[in-house]
């Protein structure tokens, strides 16, 4: 069998592996990069070409505005590393995607530095190309492989240590017990959860005025889809602080880049309502408190949170302050739901405006309010947190959420 055939066969093995099972977009990207590397070893690839030929992006794709290629390449790089740390630990051929380029690297474990096309990888690889000593190359490769394996072992031991006894990390004080219980579904999974923030589609020009994109009247119009609210930005920061206390990282993605692969394979935290985080319309969503635009009455057209089954003392509709009055109030949802994959969880943190979204995240980032919702849910410390939907009133002063009040709560069957 020729060397090329061996490389192609290894790509087939990777595509059929458990690590890449269900990740169709990553498999498609892997085959594309492999074919290009083998057929055009000296030719580098640009993000624009990958976006249009692999992911079907339009001809006006701008890699400065859309990070899908960098995100997908990072995911593929991580999957390849995980594969060779587990089910592929004995494979004779190792396939890597070096950082800084979109050209694969193939090498044989038993042949040391027999890498394919080092000149077409990254700038750092080109700098190393001047080292001609065979022994030095073998040593570098061996140490690199050992380093990858060591990092994987450390990461796995770290996850195990954090999940079994998070108090042992760097001698720091233990995280609040309320945080450990509330965020357990998202802090104890095999991978870091995704935080998916809203980025609504607009038409117009930033310098002359933007409005929400309307597919019924704006077909064929150039769309701006790289904006998000100040509340979502601050919300990501707040969540990062909470997960820092839990000794856990986060991965962040804007809603427009979200895929169904992500739904199946990850725990997800959504920031923003379905009016702006459109991905929420395609996945399991809230059933008790839902976002709807009113079709009648003095607030017709305004976004409201509709209470599907009002209980005693509760209202049917909850709306933020009207546009003609000072903005002092918003309403928001905090909901934990099962994912499409039963082993995954979804958290929705969303207001009718960006300030309500920030208020929802502030609520679940404060120990006293997290403790409040756990008590209202009658969640025992030893038990798993069951799915729920909660409605919050958010008081706003000068564009800052200053007080959150739990208005209504619904427990859901898991």
Range of the domain at 20: 3-164
Under a CB-based contact definition with an 8 Å cutoff, are residues 381 and 343 in contact? no
What are the helix (H) ranges across 176-302? 177-182, 184-187, 230-245, 260-265
Token pair listed for 165: 């006894």
Q: Are residues 102 and 195 in the same domain?
A: no
Q: Residue 23: inside a domain, yes or no?
A: yes
Q: Are residues 143 and 206 in the same domain?
A: no
**Whole-number Å distance between alpha carbons of 11 and 233:** 39
Q: Residue 352: inside a domain, yes or no?
A: yes
pLDDT score, position 124:
39
Q: Residue 173: inside a domain, yes or no?
A: no
Q: Residue 312: inside a domain, yes or no?
A: yes
pLDDT score, position 165:
47
* Per-residue pLDDT in tens (0 to 9) along the chain, 414 residues: 788 889 999 999 999 999 888 788 889 999 999 999 998 888 888 989 998 898 888 888 888 777 888 888 888 998 999 999 898 999 999 999 988 788 999 988 864 433 444 433 333 333 333 334 444 455 444 455 554 544 454 445 444 444 444 444 445 567 888 999 999 999 988 889 999 888 777 888 777 788 877 777 777 667 777 778 888 999 999 999 999 989 888 998 887 777 766 777 789 999 988 766 655 555 667 899 999 899 998 999 899 999 999 999 999 999 999 988 999 999 999 999 988 788 889 999 999 999 999 999 999 999 999 999 999 998 876 667 889 999 999 999 988 999 999 999 998 765
pLDDT score, position 115:
43
Q: Residue 172: inside a domain, yes or no?
A: no
Q: Are residues 20 and 158 in the same domain?
A: yes
Which residues does residue 211 pair with via DSSP β-bridges, in sequence order? 203
Q: Are residues 131 and 201 in the same domain?
A: no
Domain count along the chain: 2
**Whole-number Å distance between alpha carbons of 364 and 321:** 23
pLDDT score, position 278:
57
Q: Are residues 198 and 158 in the same domain?
A: no
- Cα distances from 373 to residues 23, 336, 379, 406, in angstroms, run 36, 12, 9, 8
Q: Are residues 330 and 376 in the same domain?
A: yes
Q: Are residues 18 and 148 in the same domain?
A: yes
Q: Are residues 72 and 210 in the same domain?
A: no
Q: Phi and psi at residue 347, in whole multiples of 5°?
A: -115, 130
Token pair listed for 247: 């000794």
Q: Per the confidence metrics, is the pTM higher than 0.75? A: no
Q: Residue 170: inside a domain, yes or no?
A: no
Token pair listed for 131: 């080292």
pLDDT score, position 283:
61
- Domain final residue pick, 94, 129, 164: 164
Find tokens 């059929």 and name the residue: 16
Q: Are residues 154 and 292 in the same domain?
A: no
- Domain final residue pick, 123, 141, 164: 164
Q: Residue 262: inside a domain, yes or no?
A: yes
Name the region of 407 (left: φ>0; alpha: ψ -120 to 50; beta: rest): alpha
Q: Are residues 229 and 138 in the same domain?
A: no
Q: Are residues 183 and 325 in the same domain?
A: yes
Under a CB-based contact definition with an 8 Å cutoff, are residues 67 and 93 in contact? no
- Domain final residue pick, 164, 196, 226: 164
Q: Are residues 119 and 232 in the same domain?
A: no
């Amino acid at each position: 069998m020729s060397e090329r055939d061996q490389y192609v066969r290894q790509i087939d093995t990777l595509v059929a592996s458990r690590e890449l099972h269900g990740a169709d977009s990553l498999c498609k990207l892997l085959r594309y990069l492999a074919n290009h590397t083998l057929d055009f070893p000296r030719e580098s690839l640009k993000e624009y070409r990958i976006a249009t030929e692999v992911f079907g992006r339009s001809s006006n794709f701008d890699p400065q505005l859309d990070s899908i290629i960098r995100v997908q390449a990072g995911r593929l790089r991580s999957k390849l590393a995980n594969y060779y740390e587990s089910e592929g630990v004995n494979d004779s051929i190792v396939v890597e995607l070096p950082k800084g380029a979109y050209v694969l690297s193939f090498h044989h474990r038993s042949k040391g530095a027999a890498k394919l096309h080092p000149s077409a990888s990254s700038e750092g690889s080109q700098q190393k190309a001047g080292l001609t000593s065979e022994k030095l190359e073998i040593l570098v490769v061996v140490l690199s492989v050992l380093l990858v394996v060591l990092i994987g072992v450390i990461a796995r031991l770290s996850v195990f240590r954090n999940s079994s006894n998070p108090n042992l990390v760097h001698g720091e004080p233990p995280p609040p017990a309320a945080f450990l219980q509330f965020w357990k579904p998202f802090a104890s999974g095999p991978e870091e959860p995704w935080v998916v923030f809203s980025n609504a589609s607009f038409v117009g020009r930033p310098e002359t005025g933007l409005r929400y994109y309307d597919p019924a009247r704006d077909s064929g119009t150039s769309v701006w889809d790289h904006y998000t609210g100040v509340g979502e930005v601050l919300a990501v920061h707040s969540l990062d602080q909470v997960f820092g206390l839990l000794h856990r990282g986060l991965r962040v993605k804007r809603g427009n880049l979200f895929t169904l692969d992500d739904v199946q394979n990850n725990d997800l935290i959504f920031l923003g309502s379905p009016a702006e985080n459109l991905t929420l319309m395609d996945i399991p969503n809230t059933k008790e408190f839902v976002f709807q635009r009113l079709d009648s009455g003095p607030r017709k057209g305004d976004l409201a949170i509709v209470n599907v089954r009002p209980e005693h003392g509760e209202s049917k509709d909850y709306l933020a302050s009207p546009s003609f009055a000072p903005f002092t109030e918003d309403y928001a949802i905090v909901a934990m739901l099962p994912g499409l994959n039963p082993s995954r969880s979804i958290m929705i943190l969303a207001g009718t405006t960006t300030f309500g979204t920030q208020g929802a995240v502030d609520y679940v980032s404060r120990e006293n309010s997290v403790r409040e919702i756990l008590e209202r849910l009658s969640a025992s410390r030893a038990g798993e947190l069951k799915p729920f939907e909660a409605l919050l009133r958010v008081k706003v002063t000068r564009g800052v959420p200053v007080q959150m009040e739990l208005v209504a709560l619904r427990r859901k069957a898991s």
